[in-house]
A and B are shown apart, each in its own frame.
Chain A
């Protein structure tokens, strides 16, 4: 079982806003990094250091955190955002990386 918990699947209507959450005790001490993975491709970072977007990531992607929950919000979801999203952080001891189980996002 994962130390970071994500909902397995979420859906959103095209153009609407969706929030993907990640829960874990380690998130009280460490930032969540969010990855997007499309079929047959490696993951890419969409949010790092709480709410920073790498170059090339649209500004409709944003991150936030409160207590033991980190969130990835997509404001105005597009068809190309349909993908698996994973959160990632250090574990509570800081000794290892842990991943959430992933959330499959469907854009309807």
Chain B
């Protein structure tokens, strides 16, 4: 079946970096864009941006440029989110999501990766 499987929870110290993976299966990876969405503890969703799985071109939402990098390895149908210089306020669940189109939204989501930043 169609699914996105993300890497496991991470505990990092401030200033460190983290790389979250999102492996797709059950469909042609390059047919759909991958979006990244953040959910801070007890909060709603914040769209971080997306990556075109054909052109590899990333687009970052306001507030998510610089320390945040989206990348791909299409040979293994995997998208990555790397966050550098981690701060306590980066503590959140990070989701990858497959985008269908503007009407159908993001139809398949990964299970989420909890990133905790604490000294």
Using CB atoms and an 8 Å cutoff, list the residues of chain A in contact with chain B: 2, 30-31, 33, 42-45, 48-50, 52, 54, 86, 88-90, 94, 96-102
Contact = CB atoms under 8 A, between A and B. Distances in A.
Contacts of B105: 33, 45, 48, 88-89, 97
Given A42-B109, A42-B112, A54-B107, A94 B102 contact: yes
Given A43-B95, A48-B100, 18 more contacts: A30-B103, A31-B102, A42-B109, A42-B110, A42-B112, A43-B109, A45-B104, A45-B105, A45-B106, A48-B107, A49-B103, A49-B104, A52-B104, A54-B107, A89-B105, A98-B47, A101-B44, A102-B44
7 contacts: A2-B44, A33-B106, A42-B110, A54-B107, A86-B45, A99-B47, A102-B44
A43 B107 CA distance: 9
B61 interface: yes
Given A42-B109, A101-B44, A96 B102 contact: no
B111 interface: yes
B46 interface: yes
A88 to B, nearest CB: 6
Contacts of B102: 30-31, 90, 94
B45 A99 contact: yes
A31 B105 CA distance: 9
B116 interface: no
Given A42-B95, A99-B44, A100-B44, A48 B104 contact: yes
B78 interface: no
Contacts of B53: none
Contacts of B110: 42
Contacts of B61: 96
B35 A97 contact: yes
